[in-house]
A and B are shown apart, each in its own frame.
Chain A
Amino acid sequence: MAGTGKAHLRDSPAPILRVENLVIEYSSGRSDPVQAVSNISLELHDGETLAIIGESGCGKSTLGKGILKLVDVTSGSVVFNGVDINTLDKEALRQVRPNFQMIFQDSISSLDPHLTVGRIVRQPLDIWNRGEESERDAKVDELLVSVGLEPKRVKNRKPHEFSGGQCQRISIARALTLEPKVLICDEPVSSLDVSIQAQILNILQEMKVRYGLSLIFISHDLAVVRAISTRILVMYLGKVCEIADPDTLCDSPRHHYTHALVSSVPVPDPTVHRHSAILQGEPPSPTNPPSGCRFRTRCAAATELCATEEPQLRETTPGNYVACHHPRD
């Protein structure tokens, strides 16, 4: 879209999480504030994996953090189970927080280096004072086993003794300790080797089913996202371009930016010759975004209209939405 709109929001069945008109600004000292997330609306349904995809600087991580209220939200609402969490006071927010957890790209630095793995995974239970001592220990063991680690061997070791893939398993176990409803994964596999990446993705899928999670999966890798998500939302410079199911989005993208993204993904097969629509240049600065459609400066199909009017999200085929004045066929 680099456009706006809420045409894609449905009310039934009631979503587990509903984000409406979310705006997140960062002040940048001298100049005007930068809108990292500019009027984004989305819904997460029960049991869904919603992928948020885009290039560096498109605001995807800020959006994830905004949903968890880890950064200050400028305007808009984040409604979880009928309650707008932006309106909650500190204590009420704290009570809601266990329902949301996050795992990060750099798993090693997101684990406290001074604590043993057992302590790291157990700490949320201690803080919330849940269960008896022995129940807590049993819960830690259960979680470690479910992410493919052997409790006896790992519990008394510290994060630096583990590889990146193992640390990501520990992060997942820790995130699930309080049995959250929503797990936000911010590039969880992008610093891992491909063979390990598949292991972690499979664990996430398993955990999702076992613990009844809904996932928001933030990534720049369309191939990964296609393999695991139920819907994909494409972001560009703080706006939504397209929302669709993975097969539709990857096989017949309607937005020109999505098309460019899909064509740029390398395919590990020399016999496949893909029509490569290589995007020229780089995204413009978010401090001074283009008028109208934010993608128009790099779009081959841009017209006068794109400069003057911001495209709104509209439905193309049932459940699939695009924000473009001149969508591809």
Chain B
Amino acid sequence: MSDLLKITDLAVDFDTTYGKLHAVRGVSIDIAEGESVGIVGESGSGKTVFSRATMGLLRGSSVHRTGQILFEGTEISSLDSKQIREYWGTKIAMIFQDPMTALNPVRRIGAQMSESLIKRLGMSKSEAKDRAIELLTLVKLPEPELALEKYAHQLSGGMRQRVMIAMAIACNPKMLFADEPTTALDVTVQAQVLELLADLRKELGMAMVIITHDLGVVAGYTDRIAVMYGGEIVELASTTDLFTDTKMPYTEALIKSIPRVDRKRGSELSSIEGMPPDPTSNRASCGFADRCPYAVQKCRDEHPQLVDAGNGHSYRCFFPIGGK
């Protein structure tokens, strides 16, 4: 499989009244065709800014982006606004956490769906309607013909997210970014949507990036997982390795802090004390040092580099769990 998306040393800074906010600090990752990658991190870890930068959605004078984002060999910042419209939808598409605000509240679902089909793919009105029904059937929305006549508020959260997915895959994108796609949904509907995304990925041969704060969500649905903390990737590994051969203390703490439905209750949940690092600081230490149970002086004095442990497994720690 060849690399579809190649990101090298991506950094994103924002100008704020408190100074420069370093949202993403030197992230490198390659994603192959058809691959499914999870990006996991807490609020403020930079995962959403990373995905928006990759989509080419971050524009404006207060955004400073460095590093490379190559999609099929083309740097996306070199695309002008007409070219980026070509890029969105056919190359890469995105679904968001809150499908209610992503959909237009005053237009019928059918009108919203056919707009892109008519404008982008040059379909006639009736062709667009047929295709919209086909897409809604593909995402297993019950009674697709009726849904076309409805407004977003008449659908449940799960149905709205299915509509969003249908719109995202309308132009057969090569890669789908899903930013917290199930966070606003009930657990039973979450399971349905995750299954649907997995099925669609196989059917359409898309690469998929799931961005989430929930390691449980990505455990069953991804090939690889990148854990982000304080704007950096702190561990990147195959999904199995990440859980069975955890190197980074932060990843370990994250896994331990998740309550599990398949485990008997213990005395106390292990929590990660303290708060994530200040995003405006220029970090000279390990970002996790203040919260890490294994931290020593070196961790507070030096910033660790990403270490390649082989087999596609890398981590950012001086003293990885289980040794180097």
A residues engaging B (CB < 8 A)?
A: 55-56, 163, 193-199, 201-202, 205, 220-224, 226-228, 246-247, 250, 260-272, 274, 276, 278-282
Contacts and interface: CB of A to CB of B under 8 A. Distances in A.
Contact of B258 (A163, A194, A205, A228): A194
Contacts of B217: 266
Interface stretch (B109-117, B265-273, B292-300): B265-273
Contacts of A247: 264-265
Given A202-B269, A281-B142, A270 B219 contact: yes
Interface in B173-226: 186-192, 194-195, 213-217, 219-220
Given A195-B257, A197-B257, A227 B269 contact: yes
Interface stretch (B3-11, B238-246, B308-316): B238-246
Interface in B254-290: 254-255, 257-266, 268-273, 275
Contacts of B273: 199
Contacts of A195: 42, 253-254, 257, 271-272
Nearest to A163: B275
A228 B220 CA distance: 25
B289 to A, nearest CB: 15
Given A55-B186, A268-B219, 15 more contacts: A56-B186, A194-B258, A195-B254, A197-B271, A198-B271, A201-B271, A220-B187, A221-B259, A260-B188, A266-B217, A267-B260, A268-B215, A269-B260, A270-B243, A282-B156
B34 interface: no
A176 to B, nearest CB: 20
Given A55-B188, A194-B42, A223 B259 contact: yes
Contacts of A228: 265
Nearest to B273: A199
A282 B192 CA distance: 10
A221 B159 CA distance: 21
A37 B88 CA distance: 46
Which among A260, A263, A265 has the greatest number of chain B C-beta atoms within 10 A? Answer: A265
Contacts of A274: 262
B260 A199 contact: no
Contacts of B244: 271
B99 interface: no
Nearest to A249: B261
A198 B244 CA distance: 22
A269 B219 contact: yes
Nearest to B42: A193
B43 interface: yes
A202 B257 CA distance: 11
A261 B188 contact: yes
Contacts of B269: 198, 201-202, 227
Nearest to B186: A55
Given A195-B42, A260-B188, A265 B261 contact: yes
Contacts of A282: 156, 158-159, 189
A278 B220 contact: no
A201 B262 CA distance: 18
Contacts of A198: 257, 259, 269-272
A235 B275 CA distance: 35
28 contacts: A193-B42, A194-B215, A195-B42, A195-B253, A195-B272, A201-B259, A201-B269, A221-B187, A221-B259, A223-B258, A224-B259, A226-B259, A226-B265, A227-B259, A247-B265, A250-B261, A263-B191, A264-B190, A265-B187, A266-B220, A267-B216, A268-B215, A271-B240, A271-B243, A278-B188, A279-B192, A280-B192, A282-B159
B144 interface: no
B157 interface: yes
Contacts of B263: 226
B185 to A, nearest CB: 9
B157 A278 contact: no
B186 A220 contact: yes
